[in-house]
Amino acid sequence: MWSADEIAELCYLHYRTRLPKQGKPNPNREWTSLAAVVKVESAFQRAVLASPGNLQVTKEVVAMGTGTKCIGQNKMRKTGDILNDSHAEVVAKRSFQRYLLHQMGLALSHQQCSIFIPGTETGKWKLKPNIIFVFFSSHTPCGDASIIPISESENRLSKLVTEDDAAGQSAECRSNHDHLRPGDKRKSEKMASNHIIKRMKTDDDGYFSVITEDLAVQQVSVKQEDETSTNSAEMQTANKETGLGRPKVVDVYRTGAKCVPGELDDARIPGVGYHCVGLLRVKPGRGDRTCSMSCSDKLARWNVLGCQGALLMHFLQYPVYLSAVIVGKCPYSQEAMRRAIIERCQHISFLPDGFLAQEVKLLQSDLQFEHSRQAIHEVQTNSKAKLVPCSAAISWSAVPEQPLDVTSDGFRQGTTKAAIGSHQSRSKICKVELFHTFQKLVTSISQEDLPDTLRMKTLETYGDYKEAALNYQEAWKVLRSQALPGWVKNAKEYLQFT
């Protein structure tokens, strides 16, 4: 048996006991975000996700990440030795890939303790059927999932976040009620005249902007077919307070993630019309724009392509999917989560064999992360010190050698300018390090035992190996063309390292 609270509690315990003080925030003035991947294993095949009351399962944290930062595009490197995106969700996912590479190494050396078993194709492996993976995040993912309706009752209770305070919060959703600056008003007016915006209608005849592929003008009720599962926690609270069928929505929580360049932009109208929902977004930078897509967008992608990435797909018959996504105690909307992670991609067709848009379980825990922005703020209510996001990111993987990594600005913490580019400056989860781990797997196998995609081919660069994972690349092409057309792709020059 497993529940959202049990998964959250396990992750918080792991954070407290297995991660060092180095890289954690100073609780007097700093906060951070936490994410993890938990392996859930049962004694019976395919019974794990259902988890009936009498089923015994073992739960183990196999990857963990903390962090709230991204590097700007001007700091990106063609050598693959810097972490572009250090948001907790991405650090956890890359730490998970490191764990999967280690488990694939165990499988290739015929060790039964591996999570993988032989597939039906030569050189291919698949996940044991009694194992699933659950993703945990202490906060709602930045981007589309963080655009959460705020009811009138919540609005009265909530403390408003000022513009200055909000500037450092790229990793957490936030509410911001101050008026538009003159430039924003002009931009908003221009938006209204240049684009057709589809809007969600709220019960009080207000509108909640949403974009669809064809941008057709259409009124869609916020209410979904299955009200019991889609009503957000805060909406349910508001219903109890007011005794009404539906609360009056007066605003939305804001996300710091910006709409992708060249695509439709937010209207920035005060209140519920501030954001357009359903859009692809990039994480904000400090002056220098980033090329990192929002965590909402990345989770939507992982929900179709899996978490293993292109390289590991050479060895896998099926992608490694997440069975559930659990969010800790924070502003949360089931409707926004479902829209951002599932619904934007659920209509796609003609995916290659083995790939499928997943109906991932979306759950929330009632347990708060001790170093979340909200928790630190509650403790430091009387302090005059400004709360800032922690600059470090921690990566942890369930691997025997150097499981832990603490980074800052994309490199190992403590790296001097002179040391940048050295082996010692690299995180264990940067592209080039994961690539070298993958290459060691390839060279450990005889030619006849290699999968078809790696046999008798001249592959040299990181980009070569990624492109050679044909079914993964085909699935990604289908997903981009049908659901995520504005995705910001890194130029090929950033993939040509060896």
- What residues are paired with 367 via a beta bridge? none
* 158-162, 252-256, 392-396 — most confident range: 392-396
Q: What is the mean pLDDT of residues 307-317?
A: 98
Closest CA to 311 of 466, 164, 194: 466
Record the tokens describing residue 271, joined without a space. Answer: 């209140």
Mark whether 89 is an active-site residue.
yes
The C-alpha atoms of residue 273 and residue 396 are separated, in whole angstroms, by 40
pLDDT, position 236: 40
For the stretch 86-96, pLDDT in tens is: 999 999 999 99
Q: What is the mean pLDDT of residues 472-495?
A: 96
Please provide the average confidence, as pLDDT, over all residues in the chain: 83
For residue 262, the model assigns a pLDDT of 83
- What pLDDT sits at residue 235? 38
- 263/13: higher pLDDT: 13
Rg of the chain on CA atoms, in Å: 22
Q: Please check the confidence at residue 179 and state whether its pLDDT lies above 70.
A: no
Confidence of residue 234 (pLDDT cuts 50, 70, 90): very low
Stretch (H or E) spanning 198: strand 198-201
Out of 50-64, 97-111, 129-143, 287-301, which region has the weakest mean confidence (pLDDT)? 50-64
How confident is the model at residue 244, as a pLDDT?
46
pLDDT at 246: 67
Q: Report phi then psi at 60, rounded to 5.
A: -145, 130
What region, left, alpha or beta, does residue 80 occupy, with left being phi > 0 and alpha being psi -120 to 50 degrees?
left
Instruction: Please state which of the ranges 59-68, 234-243, 318-327, 344-353 shows the lowest mean pLDDT.
Output: 234-243
Count of CB atoms within 10 A of residue 243's CB? 6
Q: Can you give the pLDDT at residue 66?
A: 98
Quick one: which of 229, 484, 467 has its CA closest to 338?
229
Q: Which range has the top average pLDDT, 143-152, 197-206, 339-348?
A: 339-348
Dihedral sign for Cα atoms in the order 361, 367, 368, 371:
negative
> Which residues have C-beta within 8 Å of that of residue 489, sequence separation ≥ 6?
none
Burial class for 382, CB neighbours closer than 10 Å (0-12, 13-18, 19+)? exposed
3-class DSSP state of 131: strand
Is residue 197 predicted with pLDDT exceeding 70? no
pLDDT tens by residue, 375-415: 999 988 878 788 999 999 999 999 999 999 999 999 999 99
C-alpha distance from residue 142 to each of 179, 275, 403 (Å):
22, 13, 27
Q: How far lies 458's CA from each of 123, 434, 492, 493, in Å?
A: 18, 20, 18, 19
Q: Exposed, middle or buried, 446 (CB in 10 Å: 0-12/13-18/19+)?
A: exposed
**Residue 247: what pLDDT?**
78
Which pTM value belongs to this model? Answer: 0.83
Of the listed 9, 60, 89, 433, which one is catalytic? 89
Among 47-51, 397-401, 457-461, the range with the most confident prediction by mean pLDDT is 397-401
Q: What would the mean pLDDT of 153-169 be, rounded to a whole number?
A: 48
pLDDT above 80 for 44: no
State phi, psi for 85 to the nearest 5 degrees: -125, 115
Find the angle CA(334)-CA(337)-CA(343) to the nearest 5 degrees. Answer: 110
Q: What percent of the chain has pLDDT over 70?
A: 79
Mean pLDDT, range 114-133, rounded to an integer:
96
- Mean pLDDT, rounded, for 411-425: 94
Q: Which residue bears the tokens 């259902």?
A: 50
